[in-house]
Structure formats: C-alpha cells, structure tokens
Structure 1
Amino acid sequence: MGYIDNILFVIVLAAGFGYFAINVKKLIRNIKLGKDIDRYDNPGARLGNMALIALGQSKMVKRPVSGFLHIIVYAGFVIINIELLEIIIDGIFGTHRLFGFMGGFYSFLIGSFEILAFLVLFAVITFLIRRNVIKLWRFVHSDLKGWPKNDANYILYFEIVLMTLFLVMNAADGYLQSVGADHYAKAGAFPVSGLISGIFEGMDYNTVALIERIAWWLHIIGILVFMNYLYYSKHLHILLAFPNTYFANLKPKGKFRNNETVTNEVKLMMDPNADPFAAQPVDENAAPSKFGASDVQDLNWVQLMNAYTCTECGRCTSSCPANITGKKLSPRKIMMDTRDRLEEVGRNIDKNKGTFVDDGKTLLFDYITPEEIWACTTCNGCVEACPVNIDPLSIIMDLRQYLVMEQSAAPTELNGMMANVENNGAPWQYSQMDRLNWKDE
C-alpha cells in the first residue's frame, strides 16, 4: 500500500509541475511577442534595484500598514514553503519528517514556520476586511470589478486554507508524537498547532493519523494548485517581480525614448551635406514600420512583462491626478487591459497552430479608448507609486504616438500647436522672423 501512495504522489507531483511548465512556456512566448529593447546595460544597478524593490519591498512600505502586512505574507509564504522540500522527499520515498535528525535546529525551523503561519493568517484576514468590510477606495474603484475583484479574494481564501491545513497537519502530528504512535518519532516544535492539538484527546490513533494524512495530502495538492493558479491571477507578480524590477528603466522618469525613425529624419534634415532625396536601403523581409503602438505586438517585451507583473493594487490609480479629478484614465486599467489583450492574442495563436490570425481587434480602441490616454498628464505619478516598477506611462505614450503619427487623430489644440512648431518653429502662431522679438522688450 505504501508503494501505491508513493507512486500516486509522484504522479500528482509530475502533473502539477508539468502543467506549471506549460504555463511558463506560454508566458514566455507571449512576452516575446513584444518588440526587442535593450535592457541589459548596467547590471550592477539592475541587481541593486531588484534586491531593494523586489526582495526588500522598499516601495511597498511607503504605505506602512499594507506594506508591513504584505511583508508578513510574502516572507511567511516563502519561508514556510521551505518545508515543501521535506514534503516532496517524504512523499517520494515514504519517509516521515526526514529532516528531524537535525534535532534542535529542526525544532527551531518548524516552530518559526508555525509562528509565521499564524501571522500570515492574521495578515490575510486583515486584507479581507480592508477589501470587503472597510472597502478602501482603490479596492472598490470602477475598474476593479468582476474577475479582478474576485481573484483577489480567491487568493486570500486560498492562503487561509493552506495555512490552516499546515497547522492542522502539525497539530495531529504533534499529538501522535506525544502518545508514541508508530512512525511518529519526536521531531519538531509546535508552539501554535500545539495549542489546538487537545481536540484530538480521546480520539482513536488511527483516526488522528488519517486526519494528519488528509491534511498532508491536501496541503501539498493545494500548493501545486496555487502554483498553477498564478498564471491566471494577479499574483503572477510573485514570480515576475524580480525580472520586472531588474529590467526596469534606469533613466530619469522625465526622459522619454526618442523614436529612432524620427530621429534619423531630423538628423538628415540638419545635415547640410545630406541628400534628402537619396534612396534609403530597404529590407524587403522586414515588417512595415509603424509609429507608436496600436496593439500588444507593437509594444516592447518589457511593457508586456509589466502587464503580467501588475499586482492590481491600485496605488497607481490612487496617485493619478487625472483619475482623482474624474477623468476616465486609470493606469491600473491600462495594465489590466494590456494583459487581457495579450492573453487574447495568445489564445488566437494557440487556436491557429502558432500563427496569429487577424481578429479585427486592437489594444487601442477595443480595450483602451483615446479619451483615456489623452487624459494623462505624463506626471509619472503612477510609475513612482508602483511597488514593482511597472511603467503604464510608456504604454500610454506609445498609443498616443500611434494616434498622432499614424492616424492624425490628436486633439484640436495639440494639432494647432504641432502645426505652429512645424511652420513657425514655436508653439505660438507668429512669423519665424518675429520669434526673437522678446529680447527687445
């Protein structure tokens, strides 16, 4: 019977990690649909960013209450899952608490895990109250409804179940150790679960052992399910926060990336020796060039990774002056829409055996409206507020560039300004001969 359990465990483990690998492959494929961009410079600064922001949670604690609670959940969930290694080995080889030979150190580890599990439960319940009872503004905003709102609650319920199973498993194990049951040699300390182990008093040893085994199986299966749920959840940032902060833009926030094609044209105009009518080399195999972006394939891969990394916390939207003053723009919605469209494109590719077939939709117009992106003041408040260095503004600017340079669809005031710059060399409508008159005043 023991061998059957081990074989069943290996099958469950292989299925869990196998499906996870499929999702990771799909995730990488979708991100690579974006255009190339060089973010491999200055590795020292990038590693520092990753250590400080992703690992150190430095931007998260700018809001102390949620920041402190998030650190508890983050640290607790990561550290507690160290015991996953022992569970996997025990499950494969049929052992029980294999690392118990470490004695006092093992007791310290298990005791620490239990205290962290209790703190995680406290933090998660607090998060549920903040979302569903207190109803903080950024959690009941109009852009957070349906699946995004439910997803946040589902993951919190999931964490409660996993932590509860962990403590029940340990409580039953500790009780069986205390009564000298077979196969339950003394190993570990149980400062939290020991407080509830009294519920097993008077129960048959076999019943308690069954409860321990059921909790053990549900705990490992729950972790595997949680791991595979990440791809469909905002909690994908658990995995992507590290690469996202590493590849974040290191340049000053007010510095915008020049369009290479426009830059080359300006340089050509300013070169007195250049022949503006000379034929430029053309790559016949290259895709037609496009100014800006109208769909996710026009964005770069870092922007697409940003969309998958978004935690949907709403800090960006709550910091956005356009949104605060009642405009339609929500930086959080920009990222959520980008991810939704990218997922739709990915499903299209899967359906058509690796090739994208035009579905008549685009990120701009079908997901994000011009009204939204023209409301942006380009203040970078959303970029500064994001705890994992996501840049909604870069997507907004690329969509704007498409509207202006491909669709000639800028607002009337902006069209007038750009015409004046082109004709007069200044935003105001006067002759170029008069542009220096101000110095005589």
Structure 2
Amino acid sequence: MQYIDNILFLIVLALGIAFFAKSAKKIIRNIKLGQEVDRTDRTSERWKNMTLIALGQKKMITRPISGLLHIIVYVGFVIINIEVLEIIIDGLFGTHRIFSFLGTTYNVLIGSFEILALLVLVAVFAFFARRNIIKLKRFIHNDLTGWPKSDANYILYFEVVLMSLFLIMNAADRHLQLIGYTHYPEAGAFPVSSFLLPIFEGMSPGVVALLERSAWWLHIIGILIFLNYLYFSKHLHILLAFPNTYFADLDAKGKFTNLESVTREVKLMLDPNADPYAAAPADAPATKFGAADVTDLNRVQLLNAYTCTECGRCTSACPANQTGKKLSPRRIMMATRDRMVELGDEIDKNNGQMPQSTKTLLNDYITPEELWACTSCNACVEECPVNINPLSIILDLRRFLVMEQSAAPMSLNAMMSNIENNGAPWQYSQQDRLNWKNE
C-alpha cells in the first residue's frame, strides 16, 4: 500500500511522456514531408545564432517592453521547472525535497524560484493586458482570430495556474515545517510564499498536508498537460526555436537561390553536345519549378511554420500590410502550418500513404493576391525574433505561378516579354534598348 502513490506517479509520468513522444514523432514526420536541404555548413555561426537568438533572446529586446516581459516569463518558467527534477525523484521514490541536503545552496535556489514565479505572474498579467485590455494592433489583426487568438490566452492562464500552484505548494510546505509535521523537515527559503502562511491559520495539519499534496500533484500534472498542449499551440516555439535558429539561412537577406532544375535545363540548352535524356530519363517525373504545396517546400521552411510564435512582428513591419494590402507574413506561416497539419492528418487516415489531396497550399490556403502584394523587402525576416523566413515561401510560391502557370500579373508578364524580345524591360527595339540612359 505504501507504494501506491509512487506507482500512480510513475503511470502519470509515463503517459505524459508517451503522449508527448507521439506528438513529437508526428511533428518530425510532417516536417519531413518537405524537400531535403543541406544546412550543415558554417557550424560555428549556427551555434552562435542559436545561443544568442534562441537562448539569449537577442532579437526580442529590440522592443524593450515586450522583450523584458518575455525574458522574465521565459527564464522564470525554464529555471523554475528545474524543480521538476526534484518532483520527479520525490514522486518515484517517495522522498520529500530530496535535494534539501544541499543546505544553503538549496535555500538560495528555492528562494530564487519563488521570486521568479512572482515576476512571471506580473509579466503574464502585463501580457494579458496588452492583448485583451490595451489591445495592441498586432494582437487584434484580422489574421489572428478564432483558435490562434484564444490559444495565446490559454497559455497565459496555464502560466498563472502553474506559478500559483508552485507558491501554494511551498506555502503549505513551509507551514508544515514550522509546526514540525511528520516528513516535512525544514528546508528551503520562501520569500514570497511566506506571505501566504496566514491562509493556513486555524487549519488542522492534516488538511494543510492534503492541500500541499494536492498542489504538488496538480503542479506536476499541469506541467505534463502543458507539455502535451504544445503540439496544438503556437508555443511549440519554446522547443523548436533552437533547431530553427540553428538551421536558419545564413546567406545575405534577399539573396535569390538558384533552382537546380533551371540551371540544369539552361546548361542543356547551351551545350550543343548535351543529351537531355541522359540527365532526365524519359520515365522520370516532370520537374516542378517553385512550390504549389507544402511537399514542394524544403524542411527548414516547414520547421519555420511550426516554430512561428504568431507574435505579429513580421506583419506589423510589412509595408504592404501597412498600406492595406491583403498580405500578412504571419498568415503565410500560419497557413503553411495549417496545410502541413491537414496533410499529415490525411496521411494518418490513409494508413501512412500520401493521399490524393484535392487541396494545395497555393490558392486554397494562400492566394496569388497575397503573394504579389509582397515587395520582397525582407522586413518580415529582419523582425522575426526566431529567424523565420516568410519571404522564402512567398518567393517559391511565386516561382510556381510564373514558371509553371505563367500566371504573373500583366505588368510583370509584359516586362518579361520585353526582356525576351528586346533585351530590356521597356518596349524598345533592339537597337534602341539603351535609349533610357538619355531620358
């Protein structure tokens, strides 16, 4: 009977980790729907990027208020959850505050955790006010409705509940320590939860012990629920920001990549001795230029979509969006993720086989109007706090429209026709094509 709690804890922990592992496997599978891309070069730069941007929050502090609040929540939540290691050990082996033997170090740790928990609560209330009372423009934009808008608030509620349970657990523990209750030896410093001690005055020790145990169980169960909720939430970036910043494109912003398929065809045209069938057998599938669906994008672009924080910094900096055009870089990323998740679900329903889907990312999720509104200025790329690149997806979808469907805007088609026929974007004859210099 004395091991029932330990066995129950083991079952809860195993289920929580198993569900998370299942979700993680699905995320990896969905990302692998994309095309392989080599991002193994310049490893020192990549580690530096990940350290400064994902871990150090370098790009968050470009907006000082939100940056500071985010750092408090991020650091507080990560550091406080170091205590989860102690909770797991205690839960598995029936101990209580197993690390208390650290003495003064333990007291400093618990005291620091409590101060951080209080700061997290303050920051969370500030975030809630920014979204729901002040209503900053980027949080009430028309591309952030329904689930994405609610999701942000759910996470804030989660944070409040988890931090409150942590402080209540510590306060009850401290009360039991002070009255010398069984199995509650004095350990830890409680600069914040000590203010909650009057709550327990007049309560029997048994009731306080029940409250402490209840808060302890709810805290660890809440953490496991939060861990599994990440799969459905934009807060997946808590984990994916690290690989996303590591595998980010290190080339100069705005550099247009060459398509191997185009390069190969140009070489074939320029080489009179080339055998086109040697490079592309007759039974080989036709080469696709650009991207029409998520399977045509590369894996880093799909990782970008999963990592998107939906903070709206990209959209708020987008000049096209500021002038009232339909384009929202945030919506580009959200739509890419939605399509990827939908396709993944279709694969699950089709026994792991790629289905004959009637939908595509282009047109069904992202319209040509949005794509052609983009000025290719890279403002969205510069603003993203975790190095997401919406422009790369926009350009690949544009490539498909131009090179596969000849569906560019009329003005662009006229320019390309002039270049083809006249060697210049203007409608001059060949001999007059340099006249623009005199105008």
Q: TM-score, normalising length from structure 2?
A: 0.98
Q: Which residue of 1 aligns with 2:320?
A: 322
Cα distance between partner residues in 1 of 2:263 and 2:429:
25
Check whether the contact 2:426–2:433 (CA below 8 A) recurs between aligned residues.
no
Report the secondary structure of 1:187's partner residue.
Answer: coil
Report the secondary structure of 2:277's partner residue.
Answer: coil
Deviations 1:260-311 (A, max 9, x none): 1222333444x4x533675343257754321111110010000000000000
Report the secondary structure of 2:3's partner residue.
Answer: helix
Deviations 1:73-111 (A, max 9, x none): 000000000000000000000000000011000000000
Q: Which residue of 2 aligns with 1:138?
A: 138
Q: Which residue of 2 aligns with 1:428?
A: 426
CA distance 1:262–1:10, change in 2 (3 Å): same
- Aligned residue runs from structure 1 range 7-406, under 5 A: 7-269=7-269, 271=270, 274-275=272-273, 278-283=276-281, 287-406=285-404
Q: Which moved more, 1:355-364 or 1:23-32?
A: 355-364
CA distance 1:177–1:283, change in 2 (3 Å): farther
Deviations 1:14-50 (A, max 9, x none): 0000000000100000001100111110000000111
Cα distance between partner residues in 1 of 2:321 and 2:53:
26
Amino acid in the other structure paired with 1:367: Y
List gaps (5 residues or longer) in structure 1: none
Cα distance between partner residues in 2 of 1:165 and 1:178:
20
Cα distance between partner residues in 1 of 2:94 and 2:276:
76
Q: TM-score, normalising length from structure 1?
A: 0.97
Cα distance between partner residues in 1 of 2:175 and 2:55:
37
CA distance 1:120–1:285, change in 2 (3 Å): farther
Check whether the contact 2:261–2:287 (CA below 8 A) recurs between aligned residues.
no
Amino acid in the other structure paired with 2:295: Q
Q: How many angstroms does 1:350 deviate by?
A: 0.5
Q: How many angstroms does 1:197 deviate by?
A: 1.2
Check whether the contact 2:138–2:316 (CA below 8 A) recurs between aligned residues.
yes
Q: Is 1:411 the equivalent of 2:409? A: yes
Q: How many angstroms does 1:234 deviate by?
A: 0.2
Aligned CA-pair RMSD: 1.4
Amino acid in the other structure paired with 1:430: Y
Deviations 1:125-175 (A, max 9, x none): 100000000000000000000000000000000000000000000000000
Cα distance between partner residues in 1 of 2:282 and 2:157:
55
Amino acid in the other structure paired with 2:139: F
Cα distance between partner residues in 2 of 1:139 and 1:440:
50
Q: How many angstroms does 1:430 deviate by?
A: 1.5
**Percent of residue pairs identical:** 70
Amino acid in the other structure paired with 1:245: T
Amino acid in the other structure paired with 1:322: A
List gaps (5 residues or longer) in structure 2: none
Cα distance between partner residues in 2 of 1:412 and 1:149:
37
